[in-house]
Amino acid sequence: MKIYTYVDNSNVYIEGCRFSAVKKGMSPSVHAAMNDGVVDHSWNIDYGRFHEFLCGADKKEIGAAHLWGSPPPSDSFWSMVQSKGFQVETFDKSLAGKEKKVDVAIAHRMTKDAYTLVDRRCDELTLVSGDKDFVPVVDDLVQEGFKVIIAFWSNAANELKNSATRYICLDSYFDLISAR
């Protein structure tokens, strides 16, 4: 059994900062934090533990572990993420400061891997994103017999959670994946 992992870094990080803000009492709920723009900028992911959590320390073999995002001010960040086991791909933000190309790149890589590398009888594809834009890709892969796991915070789009073979709520693993 192999596991193939696809992480939308900005998506999981920003929502993790919101979840942390709620845990610290900075906002009463994730939805309130979203509406009020409240985030805990001091929170960060421990990418080594996150990689192990996603890819498994058990008998699974890692088929691939991909992470996408926009370059932060320090290029050393992406080197650190790579040293923790992720293959990294970055895209510059638009002039308006919006991420472009990331969702399409993730969907493309997942689909390409599914039909060229993944054994649908036993391998798993894990998507770390809560974006409902992924629903058509996940729906198609599941209908084709692939096992697709969504791992994200509780505020992931319900349509995405419901389209997956299995959903893993990261809220329960907050302490495990948080940098100390």
Non-local CB neighbours of 87 within 8 Å, separated by 6+ positions: 64, 65, 66, 67
Cα separation, 115 vs 121, in Å, equals: 13
Confidence of residue 69 (pLDDT cuts 50, 70, 90): confident
Q: Which percentage of the chain shows pLDDT scores above 90?
A: 66
Superfamily for the 2-177 domain: 5'-nuclease (3.40.50.1010)
How much is the pLDDT for 16? 96
Tell me the pLDDT tens digit for each residue of 71-98.
665 667 777 788 878 888 877 776 666 6
DSSP string, 68-125: EE---S-THHHHHHHHTT-EEEE-PPPTTS---SHHHHHHHHHHHHHHHT--TTT-EE
Q: Which of the four pLDDT bands, split at 50, 70 and 90, describes residue 59?
A: low
The overall average pLDDT reported for the chain is 90
Give the global pTM. 0.90
152-175 tens-digit pLDDT: 999 999 999 999 999 999 999 999
Pick the more confident residue, 79 or 15: 15
pLDDT above 70 covers what percent of the chain?
89
